[in-house]
């Protein structure tokens, strides 16, 4: 009754590739677009009861930085598929962030094994707020 693994494994790999192609055709790649509404809804679920002092959404709507009222720190939110992922940025992580392209792009380096680096494009109107986050100011407002 047993099937030779040398046949079984390539057959399973073939089935996996077939499925990926069909799912690609049916569902495709989905990317979340951050808006103030989606951000608010996500944070209400993720951090209920915590009040937000200010937030900045990147120009390409892929990332957001959030500053909570209680001194909890700065959170980085990123689209992941059509879901969102929140990651807290400690002071050491914030100090590792660097400005690129004449302060229009903030580079957030890889934060741990499972969080790839982020290129956060900043609009002019948000520059001061983002700078205040990096400087660790607690009274930053958007």
Partner 1 sequence: MQLPDPVTFAIPAFVLLILIEAVIGRFAPKKSNYEMRDSAASLFMGLGNFAIGLVNFGIVGAASLWVYQFRLFDIGYHWWAFVLILFAEDFVYYWFHRLSHEHRIWWAAHINHHSSQYYNLTTALRQTWTGGFAGTWILWLVLSFIGFPLALIVFQKGISLVYQFWIHTEAIDKMWKPFEAVMNTPSHHRVHHATNPKYLDANYAGIFIIWDKLFGSFVPEDKAEPCRYGIVKQIASFNPLIIAFHEWAGIISDTVHAKSLKAAFMYVFGPPGWSEDGSRLTSRMIKEKEQARLAGQAADAAD
Q: Give 76 or 130: the residue with its C-beta nearer to partner 1.
A: 76
The answer to whether 63 and 79 are in contact (CB under 8 A) is: yes
- With CB under 8 A as the contact rule, the residue among 52, 85, 105, 142 that binds partner 1 is 85
Distances (CA, A) of 90 to 31, 80, 121: 27, 21, 20
Q: Return the closest-CA partner of residue 71 out of 3, 138, 119.
A: 138
C-alpha to C-alpha distance for 121 and 106, rounded to whole angstroms: 6
Least distance in Å: CB of 6 to partner 1?
Answer: 10
Nearer to partner 1, 88 or 127 (CB): 88
Residue 51 is a binding residue for partner 1 (CB under 8 A) = no
Identity of the residue, 102 or 112, whose beta carbon is nearer to partner 1 in the bound complex: 112
Strand order across the beta sheet in which 63-68 lies = 52-57, 63-68, 74-80, 83-89
List contacts with partner 1 (CB under 8 A).
1-3, 5, 8-9, 11-13, 15-16, 18-20, 22-24, 26-30, 45, 48-49, 78, 80-83, 85-87, 112-116
């Amino acid at each position: 009754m047993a099937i030779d693994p040398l046949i079984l494994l390539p057959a399973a790999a073939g089935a996996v590739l077939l499925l990926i192609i069909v799912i690609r055709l049916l569902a495709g790649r989905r990317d979340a677009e951050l808006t103030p509404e989606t951000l608010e809804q996500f944070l209400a679920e993720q951090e209920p009861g915590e009040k937000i002092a200010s937030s900045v959404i990147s120009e390409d709507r892929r990332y957001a930085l959030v500053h909570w009222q209680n001194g909890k720190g700065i959170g980085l939110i990123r689209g992941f598929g059509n879901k969102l992922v929140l990651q807290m940025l400690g002071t050491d992580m914030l100090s590792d962030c660097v400005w690129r392209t004449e302060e229009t792009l903030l580079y957030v380096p890889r934060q741990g094994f499972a969080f790839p680096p982020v290129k956060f494009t900043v609009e002019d109107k948000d520059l001061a707020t983002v700078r205040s986050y990096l400087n660790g100011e607690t009274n930053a407002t958007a």
